[in-house]
């Protein structure tokens, strides 16, 4: 499948493997060309952030896991890029937290929904709300962008999404859901709109949340409620901008970073 | 062609339309996959800059138009991304200033040159130096990256280029040309090497220059020479970094921007 094996010794091995996952998804018809562009944008922010999970991301991931574990109906909304990057990991996170997985696309075609569902199932995600679910429409979004599953996002109280369009994030918020968004760009409307913004790369973030779910899954409801209550998203966003700022500041003094 | 029309009500309508142009170019075989990722990287900088033409960009665009109007042989060098974004506008700018349009590619294949020439012609660019031009080779660049037209870049005194590779920008500079470069990333080697750096989105920049060409076209040679003389590219680069810096500083204080 891959044209080129990337040597593990390559300093940017992980980032290149992640890019290969997206390109592979593109070849499978899971990722649209717009998704490649979006990935390039994310890569630029990840470079500036130093390609690591910062404390503000860890805190946001922890709060997200606490919500996944305590919500009445938590849903993980999966688009082409998120599936390509972390199919197996999404399944594991869903199993550990009891969340429902729903395929939900900005550039929606029923064919692409089916391809993504197949890909998720191949990667061990047993239960996925798919093109056959009973449909509802989110108000304020033109069809087919507004289509969701009645037993998924429509009736969820908490939605985790990744690399999502700002319009859709806002519309889901307007429906009264609590939203956690994985987005490397803290300027994006999705990042600015979400209740919890995870400024981190999606695969890294999901792997972190899998580890956390194993620990937090043993905590009492009260402890989890405390984690939720103590999380401050404006502080997390500020911290993400501060890191971008100080990394650029440092780079502007040193030149060679 | 498009799977989905983007509603005009979308707050980031313009940015998404621009992205669609690049994707459309990709589907036409004009833009290479690397061009999609490069576009995403540019989007990241455009987010940080607030997706607008700042004063430093306007000044650089004005100086570029003054050069286009006064140079003995001005050339607009067009690659896949620039053609996909602004074919019609490139033609209008060339007509208003008398510049020559040359298709010149980093990932050069004669087939892709022909596709881009066709696309430009479909969009009203009547005269384009194409794959049939008499060829020369820029020294210091491996073939086919170094191929240019004798009646175009080879003998130009001024070259406007967009989203160009740093190696090629440097090689064109070494040939003694004055170079103006459109590049959203002021850190890039192209941005750092050019005589005039336009830190602006390419379609926005070209539309600005079309308007300016109509006004500056009526000015005396002396007035145009004054615009050229008074332009300071190091100041423009500094100003672009200052905007990035202050936007990030503000964001890191506020969190919500």
pLDDT tens digit sequence for B222-235: 999 999 999 999 99
What pLDDT shows up at residue B2?
44
Q: Does the beta carbon of B254 lie under 8 angstroms from any beta carbon of chain A?
A: yes
Contact A37 B33 (CB under 8 A): no
Which residues in chain B have their CB less than 8 angstroms from residue A39's CB?
Answer: 37, 40
Of B170, B127, B129, B132, the C-alpha closest to B153 is B129
Three-state DSSP at A96 gives: helix
Residues A184-195, mean pLDDT to the nearest whole number = 96
Q: How far apart are CA A12 and CA A43, in angstroms?
A: 12
Say which range, A28-32, A140-144, B87-91, has the weakest mean pLDDT.
A140-144
B245/A contact by beta carbon, under 8 A:
yes
Q: Kindly give, in sequence order, each residue whose CB lies less than 8 Å from that of residue B152, ignoring residues fewer than 6 positions away.
A: B75, B77, B100, B102, B104, B129, B133
Give me the residues paired with residue A103 across strands.
A78
**pLDDT(A14) > 90:** no
- The reply to whether residue A192 touches residue B36, judged by beta carbons under 8 angstroms, is no
Interface test with A, best of B85, B184, B250, B251 (most A CBs within 10 A): B251
The answer to whether residues B169 and B149 touch, using CB atoms and an 8 Å cutoff, is no
Distance from CA of A95 to the nearest CA of B (A): 33
Is A34 in contact with B19 (Cβ distance < 8 A)? yes
User: Given CB atoms, is B257 within the 8 Å cutoff of chain A?
Assistant: yes
Length of chain B: 257
Q: Does B8 touch chain A (CB under 8 A)?
A: no
Q: Measured between CB atoms, which of B4, B10, B40 is closest to A37?
A: B40
pLDDT band at B10 (very low <50, low <70, confident <90, very high): confident
Q: What is the rounded CA–CA span in Å between residue A70 and residue B119? A: 55
Greatest CA separation for chain B: 57
| Distance of residue A246 Cα from the nearest chain B Cα, in angstroms | 9
pLDDT band at A29 (very low <50, low <70, confident <90, very high): very high
Mutate to test the interface with A, among B25, B34, B252 (most CBs of A within 10 A): B252
| Mean pLDDT of the B85-89 span | 98
Of A37, A114, A150, which is closest to residue B37 (Cα–Cα)?
A: A37
CA dist B74 and B100 (Å) reads: 6
Q: Is A235 on the interface with B (CB under 8 A)?
A: yes
Tell me if A192 and B39 make a contact (CB, 8 A cut-off).
no
Percentage of residues in chain B with pLDDT exceeding 70?
98
pTM for this predicted structure: 0.86
Q: Is the peptide bond before B144 cis (omega within 30 degrees of 0)?
A: yes
Scan for tokens 């850190």, then name that residue.
B187
Contact A89, A125 (CB under 8 A): no
> What is the chain A residue with the closest CA to B185?
A44
* Average pLDDT score over residue span A191-201: 98
Q: Which is more confident, B135 or B107? A: B135
More confident residue, B131 or B254: B254
Question: Do A182 and A205 contact (CB within 8 A), yes or no?
Answer: yes
Q: What is the mean pLDDT of residues B134-163?
A: 92
Within 10 Å of residue A234's Cβ, how many Cβ atoms?
11
A246 Cβ contact list (under 8 Å, min separation 6): none
A49: which residues sit within 8 A by CB, 6+ positions away? A184, A199, A240, A243, A244, A247
CB A185 within 8 A of CB A42: yes
Closest partner CB to A40 (pick from B10, B36, B252): B36
**What residue spans define the domains of chain A?**
55-241
pLDDT at residue A251 is higher than 80: no
- The answer to whether residues A167 and A107 touch, using CB atoms and an 8 Å cutoff, is no
Contacts of A236 in chain B (CB under 8 A): 255
**Locus of tokens 């970094």:** B241
Q: How does strand B178-182 pair with strand B196-198?
A: parallel
Across the beta sheet with B158-162, the strand order is B128-129, B100-103, B74-78, B158-162, B178-182, B196-198
B50-60: b (≥16 Cβ within 10 Å) or e = ebebbebbbbb
Picking from A189, A241, A252, the nearest residue to B251 by CB comes out as A241
Distance in angstroms (rounded) separating the CA atoms of residues B13 and A83:
26
pLDDT of residue A2: 44
The fold of the A55-241 domain, in CATH, is Rossmann fold (3.40.50)
Q: Do A40 and B41 touch (CB under 8 A)?
A: yes
With a cut of 80, say whether residue B240 has pLDDT above it: yes
């Amino acid at each position: 499948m891959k044209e080129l094996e990337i040597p593990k010794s390559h300093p940017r091995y992980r980032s290149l493997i992640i890019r290969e996952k997206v390109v592979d998804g593109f070849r499978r018809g899971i990722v649209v060309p717009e998704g490649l562009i979006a990935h390039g944008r994310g890569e630029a922010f990840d470079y500036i952030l130093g390609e690591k999970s910062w404390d503000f991301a860890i805190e946001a991931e922890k709060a997200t896991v606490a919500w996944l574990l305590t919500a009445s109906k938590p849903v993980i909304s999966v688009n082409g890029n998120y599936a390509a990057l972390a199919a197996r990991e999404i399944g594991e996170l869903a199993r550990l937290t009891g969340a429902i997985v729903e395929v939900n696309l900005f550039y929606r075609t029923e064919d692409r929904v089916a391809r993504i569902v197949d890909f998720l199932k191949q990667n061990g995600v047993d239960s996925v709300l798919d093109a056959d679910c009973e449909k509802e429409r989110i108000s304020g979004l033109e069809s087919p962008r507004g289509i969701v599953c009645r037993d998924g996002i429509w009736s969820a109280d908490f939605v985790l999404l990744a690399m999502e369009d700002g319009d859709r994030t806002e519309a889901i918020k307007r429906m009264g859901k609590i939203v956690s968004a994985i987005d490397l760009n803290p300027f994006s409307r999705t990042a600015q709109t979400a209740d919890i913004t995870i400024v981190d790369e999606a695969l890294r973030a999901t792997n972190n949340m899998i580890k956390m779910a194993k620990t937090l899954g043993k905590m009492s409801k009260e402890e989890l409620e405390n984690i939720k209550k103590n999380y401050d998203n404006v502080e997390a966003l500020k911290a993400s901008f501060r890191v971008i700022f100080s990394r650029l500041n440092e780079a502007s003094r040193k030149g060679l970073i």
